[in-house]
Structure 1
Amino acid sequence: MPKTIKNVIKFICFFGIGLLLIWLVTKDLTPQQWDEINTAFRKANYWLVIPAIVIGILSHWFRAIRWKLLMKPLGHQPSTLNTFFAVMVGYLANLALPRLGEVTRCGLLAQYEKIPADKLVGTMIAERAVDMVCLLLLMAITILTQIDVLGAYVNHDIFQPLSRKIANANAIQLLLLIAGLAAFILLALWLLRRFARSKAAQTIKALAKGVMEGILSIGKMEKKGWFILHTILIWSCYLAQVYIGFYCLQETSHLGISAALAVLMIGSIGMIVTPGGIGAYQALVQKALELYGITYVIGYAFGWIIWVVQTLLVIFVGFFSLIALPIYNKKQQLK
């Protein structure tokens, strides 16, 4: 099956999941609740969208600089603008298909900065690993500092269902899973040895080497403090966007940093589940705000406002970056 058709099928499936989640959340809303949602949208203070957008762009700029720091130990120093444009086009691609953006941004930067794509993939994997650690730390901090609010929710909605699934899995199923993983690893090693001199094997080895160099670039960085600082700045911007968003609606304007942390934590999971978080983000944010006494209707409306702001930012800046990339690089070549 051609790759394009596979990508289209994947997009339809993930987008369908998002639409299904929206339907599941809204199917039982009464006409009165729909009126309340429309009223919330009409009364929202959309002037606060401007600082939220500025902060959002800053978060992506900090991400571009942080990505550059990972490339320096590999002997490459791309233009900050090229790196930023590649990051934004990557986010735009992610709206179409999850994880497509990572490949896209690496490919674009490799094209315009003449950096080996395999090494860029390694730095991207390292960057994503750092973000995953940050998300786990955010979860731990949020839950531990708000154990009275989030403890029961996490236990009832996450730990208990997970425990039941593990308990229901018998010993034979677990052994089969372990045996399957072991067989896959052994088969892969055998194939690499058997066809070690083939072109495909050489390509795989070169890719693996480049990826490993990219991942290890974190340990080789001279400015680790700058890397940590930009990581903190990125997540601080995410948090500030949510906190400013609270003031868009009168019903959420009293919420503080604690609630913003919870929304950021749970909403980040929603952004991973479906393309751009459509459906999942709104539902999870509504669930998070419900813990702080926000009604179902207002929580859902708030989720849509934040999601629309973030998505429009990615669409407009992403398309601008896509157009600006060749123009900027053509001017650079003429200098």
Structure 2
Amino acid sequence: MPKMLKNVIKFICFFGIGVLLIWLFTKDITTEQWTQINDAFRKANYWLLIPTMTIGIASHWFRAIRWKLLMKPLGHQPTTLNTFFAVMVGYLANLAVPRLGEVTRCGILAQYEKVPADKLVGTMIAERAVDMVCLLLLMALTVLTQLDVLGTYVNESIFVPISNKVAHANGMQLLIGIAILAVVLLILGWLLKKFARSKVAITIKNLARGIMEGILSIGKMEKKGWFLVHTVLIWSCYLSQVYIGFFCLTETSHLGISAALAVLMIGSVGMIVTPGGIGAYQPLVQKSLQLYGIPLAIGFAFGWIIWVAQTVLVILLGFISLIALPIYNKKKTEALPATR
């Protein structure tokens, strides 16, 4: 099956899931609530989305700089603009198919900066691992500082379902699964050893080596402090976007940093579940705001306003980056002889 067709099928499937989630979430909304939602949209102060989106651009710029810091130990220093363009095109691809953007941004930077793609994949994995740790730390901080508000919700939504699954897990099935995984790994290892000189084996080994080098680059960085600073800046931008967004609606303008932390924590899960968070981000944000006494209609409107602002920003910057990449790199190539 052609790669393009596979991506189209994936997009249709994931987009369909998003639409289904939207329908499930909106089907029980009453006529009165729809009236309240429309009033909220009509009265919202959309001018405040300008600073919110500006901060969003800053977060993407900081991410590009942080990614560059991971490449330096590998002997590569791409330009910040190319790295930024690659990040934005990656985000644009993620709107179609989850995780496709990670491969896309590595491919773009490999094309324009001649950085080995396998090493870029390793740095991307390292970067995502850091973000996952940050999200877990954010969850812990948010829950521990707001046990009275979030304790019951997190327990019923996360810990109880996990405990039930573990309690009903079949020990024999778990052992069989582990045994199958071990056998697969042993067979793979034997095949690589048996056909060590084949092109396929050499390619796999080089890919694995490049990925490992990229992952280990985080420990070889000279400027670990700057990496930490940019990580903090990225997540501070995310938090600021939510907090400033509260002032778009009168009903949420009184909410503080604590509520913003909760929305960021729970909303981030929605962004992971479906492409760009469609159908998942909005109801999760709405439910998190209900914990702070915000009515369903207002939470619904706020979730959509923030999601649309973020998505429009990604689409605009993504397409601008696609157009700018060949233009910028053509000019850069033409300027090289003059700078030598």
TM-score computed with the length of structure 2 as normaliser:
0.97
The CA deviation at 1:279 is: 0.5
| 1:141 paired residue number | 141
| 2:283 paired residue number | 283
Structure 1: distance between partners of 2:208 and 2:30: 54
- Aligned: 1:205 with 2:205: yes
Give the total of aligned pairs. 335
| 2:59 paired residue number | 59
User: Which secondary structure state, in structure 2, belongs to the residue aligned with residue 76 of structure 1?
Assistant: coil
| 2:156 paired residue number | 156
Q: Show CA shifts across 1:83-127 (max 9, x none).
A: 001100110010011111111111111111111111111111110
Structure 2: distance between partners of 1:196 and 1:90: 34
Structure 2: distance between partners of 1:18 and 1:40: 23
The CA deviation at 1:16 is: 1.0
Which region of structure 1 is more displaced relative to structure 2, 225-234 or 23-32? 23-32
The CA deviation at 1:162 is: 1.1
Following superposition of structure 1 onto structure 2, how do residues 243-282 of structure 1 map, counting pairs within 5 Å? Answer: 243-282=243-282
- Aligned: 1:107 with 2:107: yes
Structure 1 counterpart of 2:99, which letter? R
Q: Show CA shifts across 1:131-178 (max 9, x none).
A: 000000000100111111111111111111111111111211211221
Which region of structure 1 is more displaced relative to structure 2, 185-194 or 269-278? 185-194
Structure 2: distance between partners of 1:269 and 1:262: 11
Structure 1: distance between partners of 2:16 and 2:190: 39
Structure 1: distance between partners of 2:186 and 2:10: 29
Structure 2: distance between partners of 1:177 and 1:299: 42
The CA deviation at 1:193 is: 1.4
The CA deviation at 1:180 is: 2.0
Structure 1: distance between partners of 2:133 and 2:189: 29
Structure 1 counterpart of 2:82, which letter? N
- Aligned: 1:306 with 2:306: yes
Structure 2 counterpart of 1:32, which letter? E
| 1:179 paired residue number | 179
Following superposition of structure 1 onto structure 2, how do residues 21-32 of structure 1 map, counting pairs within 5 Å? Answer: 21-32=21-32
Structure 2: distance between partners of 1:228 and 1:243: 22
The CA deviation at 1:2 is: 2.3
User: Which secondary structure state, in structure 2, belongs to the residue aligned with residue 237 of structure 1?
Assistant: helix
Which region of structure 1 is more displaced relative to structure 2, 176-185 or 95-104? 176-185
Give me the CA root mean square deviation.
0.8
Which region of structure 1 is more displaced relative to structure 2, 8-17 or 283-292? 8-17
Q: Show CA shifts across 1:278-321 (max 9, x none).
A: 00000111111111111111111110000000000000011001
Structure 1: distance between partners of 2:245 and 2:20: 26
The CA deviation at 1:265 is: 0.4
| 2:170 paired residue number | 170
Q: Quick one: percent identity of the two aligned structures?
A: 79
Structure 1: distance between partners of 2:46 and 2:210: 46
